[in-house]
Structure 1
Amino acid sequence: MDTNLPVSDKPRVVIVGCGFGGLRLAQALRKAPVQVVVVDRNNYHNFQPLLYQVATGALEADSIAYPIRKIFAGQQNFFYRMADVQRVDPAANTLITSVGDIRYDYLVLATGSLTNFFGMESIERNAMQIKSIPNALNLRSFIFQNFEKALLTSDPAERQALLNIVVVGGGPTGVEISGSLAEMRKHVLPKDYPELDLRRMQIFLVEAGPALLGPMSPASQADAKRYMDELGVLVHLNTSIKRYEDGKAYYSDTEFIPTENLVWAAGVNGAEVPGLPAEAVTRNKRITVNGWNLVQGQHNIFAIGDVANMTTADMPKGLPMLAPVAQQHADHLAANLQRMLRLEKPLDFVYNNKGSMAIVSRNKAVVDLPRDIHFRGFFGWLTWLFVHLMTLVGFRNKVVALVDWAFSYFSSDQALRLIIRPFSRKDVRDDQGKKTAEHRTATAEYNATPPAIQETAGR
């Protein structure tokens, strides 16, 4: 029990996940009279907005990650355990993990989000995704492996499928990776593969909605579409990929795009934790919380960030799944936890919309700020670079990212075109199968719990 955590007379706050929300909350509780325990399957904080640059060779993987223990060195009330969370037992105030059970006084779920394949098994089995550093490294290896294969084949149709890249999802991730791939096609790949006719390489950006960057302003949407056209990215709006198999991305029963490279960036689900009552979990796996992030039906379990479904009058479908929301949740919950320790009433959360932005390529970005302020182009690009550089964790990471960006800008090159570990689709199938099996086991264990105990857990 408690995985050798020290006994303390202070209340224990267990935080699941060290993304933007979990990291910010643990830091905000630095001087609070509590014991802070962070549980994460990785021993590093991952800066997800820049994963696509790792996937396209613009940044090193370790320049967007930072060791958790190093971040919190010197924080006396902080403890970390590397583990997979299997389920929560609200009745016993216990978190069940792969390394043992952890007791809590307050539990905070900051688990973020997972890729949503909308039940399409062929896409889940065969598509690539960008939700983690291993995903990004796999995608980078896979794309360059396919270019190597394209050199060897004498079949024109097979070569075209190996060269084509289909990105599904017109949100910021889809737009950013499509733009980065287009830059690679123009400046980088001709140097590496002079034997290939890269004019035949096609980059498709497929979006089910009527516009790119759906949550952003119409001006940003129009600018992003224009930038995509200028880069030669083939944008298909009001189009859905229905299945993907045998190197064919079908957008109808019979019509398809030939490609061996399908990148899925079309949607996310909350990364729920088994053990919570079903009525607290929404259809997209986000967890329903009240105005101070308390999970529905619970008294000491909270959720923040992407996994938290907090609705407002202006946003009846829930606050957006963005890093600033997670960070604001964390700051507010840290203050509320200390108010609760003083037996004061918690305050309701008020979202401060700081705007949104997306980069398309060099000197091309769109930025929306409150009060309908919109700008684009080189100034938008500089703004995007500055905000992301300042948000990176660790001085070294900021310096390395700045140097890499400067090198890429002035040389029109990306030096990290490495196939460090050859990748196959079987690897992703095996990994997804393992995670699915673990989730089903945890859910089955909870379902096997006597109903009386389940009912108590739901209170």
Structure 2
Amino acid sequence: MKSNCIPENSTEASCIVTDSVCLPNTVLPRIVVVGGGFAGLALVEGLKNKEVQVVLIDRNNFHQFQPLFYQVATSGLEPDSIVFPFRKQFKGYGNVSFRLAEVTQIEPASNTVVTDKGKLTYDYLVLAIGTKTNFFGMEEVERNSLGMKDIRDSLNIRHMMLQNLEQAAITCDEDERDALTNFVIVGGGPAGVEMAGALAEFCKYILPKDYPEYPNTIMNIFLIEALDELLASMSDKASIKTLQYLKNLNVQVLLNEAVSGYDGNVVSTKSGRKISAKNLIWTAGVTGQIPEGINQKHIIKGNRLKTDTHLKVEGMDNVFAIGDIAGVITDETPKGHPQVAQTAIQQGRHLAKVLLNTVQSKPSKPFRYKDKGSLATVGKRKAVADLGKLHFGGYAAWLLWSVVHLLSISGFRNKFLVGFNWAISYFTYEKSNRVIIRSFKRDAYMKASLKYSSNNELEKDVNPKKSSIDA
């Protein structure tokens, strides 16, 4: 195969091609990293300008700051504020190459990664693929609701919300208007809680200004959680405070309740409740994304890869896993570590040391997770924090949450844009431009989602509006 590519980060005048994936020629050990999330970026950062060749593969050409997806979804931020191009990130990283591709299979016997753009070989492979939304086998719910695991999901939620609000202003059918202006969020973890708080503030501060046709009481927000508390991974104090904050924002929190179905118009629960809604946002669970080629016996609950304390995948000599996809199972962590950003970052940094030691035939220390605490925000100026034995909420927790997240965003420009937007919102409660750039069409969304993943009577105590809808 003739090559027309130009070597990256090299003065050499030649490069090699492996089934169309062109890479700089090198005699250094090649480390292929699949996934540019928090874990993958932390690993690449630890390996920059070292005596190894690093190749990052991702289906996007940018890193996404997932903790702020909900703000994009509710028009609080523009999408380009929380994404950062990999190639810009890797400027000055002399040993790092990026390739835009999607991994479909790995072939451990030949140390080969198969992508939709071709194949490439590796000396060490790191899977930092992350997770996708888990609908727990409920196909109807998956067809008709929206997850929030990608910046595109956030934009789809934004466009769906704005389109439905516009349609509600047009229709004269009160039942349809009720369905269009009801929002159901499933999952009481940080993502669900933060989404509910942001929607509640949109309802309180933006709706009356943008839609004077009807009062803000027309927009109902439901948060459904299967357990008996919110933020189950945090302290009881944080859970209680969060529940109170949401109730003060008029969010209707349904605990000990699980969704059993959703046809796009009515949400059904296992207890028999029915909620009229054309907006359902699913944040209730995640599952790992594992390419073909991994022995099923190494995959554990949650579709995670079982690893040892050096983050090496069980039964494989030169394949590692980090981030949400990794399950480090020990006596101390029988269920693995929490699937949060700080875990991913710590594992990425640790694995960089492990790989460099491995290349130099040096021993490595086992991975030890250090819990630096948990934070969750519930609207403007309200948040909860667990920092060791210290548990607090309110303005101080919100200020801490804001500083931590602002410092974690990649790039000075993005930090400035987010900080500037937050400053305006702090004083005015104003949101970013609420424009519908493209129409949200559910059928088109479902086709894209499938491609992405593989390659009426209502209870009055639940819905205080009309008792039925015209589907």
Given that 1:18 and 1:40 are in contact with CA atoms closer than 8 Å, whether structure 2 keeps it comes out as yes
Amino acid at match of 1:24: A
Matching residue of 2:200: 182
Q: Distance in 1 between matches of 2:363 and 2:272?
A: 60
Is 1:276 paired with 2:276?
no
Matching residue of 1:407: 424
Is 1:221 paired with 2:231?
no
After superposition, the C-alpha distances for 1:142-196 in whole angstroms (9 at most, x for unaligned) are 0010011111111111110000000000000000000000000000111000002
Query: Displacement of 1:429 after TM fit?
Result: 1.1
Matching residue of 2:368: 350
Is 1:420 paired with 2:431?
no
Q: Distance in 1 between matches of 2:421 and 2:254?
A: 32
Q: Distance in 2 between matches of 1:199 and 1:148?
A: 16
Amino acid at match of 1:400: L
After superposition, the C-alpha distances for 1:31-71 in whole angstroms (9 at most, x for unaligned) are 32100000000010100000100000011100000110000
Matching residue of 2:283: 265
Given that 1:37 and 1:78 are in contact with CA atoms closer than 8 Å, whether structure 2 keeps it comes out as yes
Amino acid at match of 2:354: N
Structure 1 pair 253/240, CA: closer, same or farther in 2 (3 Å)?
closer
- Which of 357, 375, 387 does residue 392 from structure 2 map onto? 375
Given that 1:280 and 1:288 are in contact with CA atoms closer than 8 Å, whether structure 2 keeps it comes out as yes
1:230-241 residue pairs with structure 2 within 5 A? 230-241=248-259
Query: What secondary structure sits across from 1:228 in the alignment?
Result: helix
Amino acid at match of 2:197: G
Query: Displacement of 1:436 after TM fit?
Result: 4.4
Matching residue of 1:443: none
Given that 1:125 and 1:428 are in contact with CA atoms closer than 8 Å, whether structure 2 keeps it comes out as no
1:107-122 residue pairs with structure 2 within 5 A? 107-122=125-140
Q: Distance in 2 between matches of 1:329 and 1:253?
A: 41
Query: Displacement of 1:343 after TM fit?
Result: 1.0
Structure 1 pair 92/159, CA: closer, same or farther in 2 (3 Å)?
same
- Which of 201, 209, 214 does residue 191 from structure 1 map onto? 209
Query: Displacement of 1:435 after TM fit?
Result: 3.0
Q: Distance in 2 between matches of 1:244 and 1:253?
A: 14
After superposition, the C-alpha distances for 1:58-85 in whole angstroms (9 at most, x for unaligned) are 1110000011000010111000000011
Matching residue of 2:149: 131
Query: What secondary structure sits across from 2:77 in the alignment?
Result: coil
After superposition, the C-alpha distances for 1:79-138 in whole angstroms (9 at most, x for unaligned) are 000001111110110000011101000000000111000000011101011111111011
Amino acid at match of 1:33: E
Query: What secondary structure sits across from 1:15 in the alignment?
Result: strand
- Which of 57, 80, 97 does residue 79 from structure 1 map onto? 97
Query: What secondary structure sits across from 2:24 in the alignment?
Result: coil
- Which of 407, 412, 433 does residue 395 from structure 1 map onto? 412
Matching residue of 1:442: none
After superposition, the C-alpha distances for 1:252-308 in whole angstroms (9 at most, x for unaligned) are 375310000000000001121221001111131111100000001100000000000
Over aligned residues, Cα RMSD in angstroms? 1.1
| TM-score where L is the length of structure 1 | 0.94
Given that 1:312 and 1:319 are in contact with CA atoms closer than 8 Å, whether structure 2 keeps it comes out as no
Query: What secondary structure sits across from 1:367 in the alignment?
Result: strand
Query: What secondary structure sits across from 2:294 in the alignment?
Result: coil
Matching residue of 1:12: 30
Amino acid at match of 1:12: R
Given that 2:245 and 2:382 are in contact with CA atoms closer than 8 Å, whether structure 1 keeps it comes out as yes
Amino acid at match of 1:320: P
Matching residue of 1:445: none
Q: Distance in 1 between matches of 2:40 and 2:24?
A: 21
After superposition, the C-alpha distances for 1:370-421 in whole angstroms (9 at most, x for unaligned) are 2x11111000000000000000000000000000001111111113211111
Query: What secondary structure sits across from 2:119 in the alignment?
Result: strand
Q: Distance in 2 between matches of 1:291 and 1:236?
A: 39
Query: What secondary structure sits across from 1:220 in the alignment?
Result: helix
Structure 1 pair 80/411, CA: closer, same or farther in 2 (3 Å)?
same
Q: Which runs of 5+ in 2 are unaligned?
A: 1-17, 456-471
After superposition, the C-alpha distances for 1:291-337 in whole angstroms (9 at most, x for unaligned) are 00000110000000000011233331110001111111011111111
Query: What secondary structure sits across from 1:203 in the alignment?
Result: strand
Amino acid at match of 2:435: L
> Alignment identity in percent?
44
Given that 1:248 and 1:256 are in contact with CA atoms closer than 8 Å, whether structure 2 keeps it comes out as yes
Query: Displacement of 1:211 after TM fit?
Result: 0.3
Query: Displacement of 1:246 after TM fit?
Result: 4.2
Q: Distance in 2 between matches of 1:154 and 1:166?
A: 23
Amino acid at match of 2:399: L
Is 1:150 paired with 2:177?
no
Given that 1:207 and 1:238 are in contact with CA atoms closer than 8 Å, whether structure 2 keeps it comes out as yes
Given that 2:31 and 2:54 are in contact with CA atoms closer than 8 Å, whether structure 1 keeps it comes out as yes
Amino acid at match of 2:438: R
After superposition, the C-alpha distances for 1:202-240 in whole angstroms (9 at most, x for unaligned) are 100000001000000000000000001100000000000
Amino acid at match of 2:88: K
Amino acid at match of 2:431: Q
Matching residue of 1:45: 63
Query: What secondary structure sits across from 1:345 in the alignment?
Result: coil
Amino acid at match of 1:238: N
Query: What secondary structure sits across from 1:279 in the alignment?
Result: helix
Q: Distance in 2 between matches of 1:312 and 1:211?
A: 28
Q: Distance in 2 between matches of 1:437 and 1:225?
A: 38
Query: Displacement of 1:347 after TM fit?
Result: 1.9
Amino acid at match of 1:112: G
Structure 1 pair 169/227, CA: closer, same or farther in 2 (3 Å)?
same
Query: What secondary structure sits across from 1:146 in the alignment?
Result: helix
Of 164-173 and 429-438, deviating more is: 429-438
Q: Distance in 2 between matches of 1:254 and 1:221?
A: 26
- Which of 318, 322, 341 does residue 323 from structure 1 map onto? 341
